Amino acid sequence: MQRIGILTSGGDSPGMNAAIRAVVRKAIYHGLEVIGIKRGFNGFIEGDMEPMRLGSVADIIHRGGTILHTARSEQFKTPAGRAKAWENVERFGLEGLVVIGGDGSFTGAGIFHQEYGLPVAAIPGTIDNDISGTDYSIGFDTAVNTAVDAINKIRDTATSHERTFIVEVMGRDTGFIAVAAGLAGGAESILIPEYPYSIEEVCHKLCKGYRRGKLHSIIVVAEGAGSGLEIGRQIKEHTGFDTKVTILGHLQRGGTPTAFDRILASQLGARAVELLMQGATCKMVGMTAGKIVETDLDRVLGQKKTVDLDVYRLASILAI
């Protein structure tokens, strides 16, 4: 193997740059050439690709976002779009591809591998942490720390004003960020898509807390569990409590990656290069129980990863 390509795709996540750096440096260390593909599968189709050198990845380990830029490409979902990408694989002489992204990006890479046989090493990069085959995806830890930081600040003002605060965090289909940030931030209630809740129950808990002298309450809501604004409106209607809503939104996708995410990204990036060099065909690298592991991409995509409900229940017990 002499030359590999690398792209970032889907939503960006803090630590993607550290992963790009690891892939480029590990590959060059072993004498491989690396072609950087810009704007995800869009750049793959358009041939927006250029060689990456040691200096191309200098001074990026601490930066959020991705120097390769990312995109969502509708064209890559079509056979014609993928045929154009294959032309660029041949034009640039790629013998393997590293894809950093979420499950959508992995689905696209898997289909491309099936059609054209290009070896793929996938690296999980999404703040949602909803990819099986790994305990953590790159960016999750940073997003949780950003959310906890926000909750800490909101807690200060919540205490002063004796109010109920709702903090809406990201997580369209899963409550990974909500559970981790809610537990670490000491939230009174955590609402996630995986676990049914009723507003009556949430209000009952709030009233109980106020009766025993709680000065404030913080409720963390995963966006997939309902709109923070609507939940705030309903709480006000049921209890009369002054309820303020903060939607963290894209704040959680940016920022300098935590040390954990940088270390994870460095290890996963290096392992992805090793896998391609060892002749792996279509795998994802991940970390389970503290060890770097690899899993067939088909298996990763065939399994749904769910929130640990024991941790979720623990957060609820500790908030009595």
Minimum CB separation of residue 238 from ligand ATP in Å reads: 34
Task: Kindly state the tokens that stand for 268.
Answer: 């996963």
Residue 244: enclosing H or E segment and its boundaries?
strand 243-247
The CA-CA-CA angle for residues 257, 303, 97, to 5°, reads 55
Interaction of residue 139 with ligand ATP, rule CB under 6 A? no
Annotated catalytic residue, options 12, 48, 59, 128: 128
Known catalytic residue at 128? yes
Taking the C-alpha atoms of residue 125 and residue 17, their distance in angstroms, rounded to an integer, is 10
Dihedral (CA of 100, 103, 108, 114) sign: positive
Nearer to ligand ATP, 11 or 232 (CB): 11
Residues 69-128, interacting with ligand ATP (CB under 6 A):
72-73, 76-77, 101-105, 107-108, 111, 126, 128
Minimum CB separation of residue 9 from ligand ATP in Å reads: 5
Nearer to ligand ATP, 118 or 154 (CB): 118
The CB-nearest residue to ligand ATP is: 104
Interaction of residue 11 with ligand ATP, rule CB under 6 A? yes
Q: Please, are residues 10 and 16 in contact by the beta-carbon 8 Å criterion?
A: no
Residues involved in catalysis: 128
Binding site for ligand ATP (CB under 6 A): 9-11, 41, 72-73, 76-77, 101-105, 107-108, 111, 126, 128
* Binding site per annotation, positions for substrate: 126-128, 163, 170-172, 223, 244, 250-253
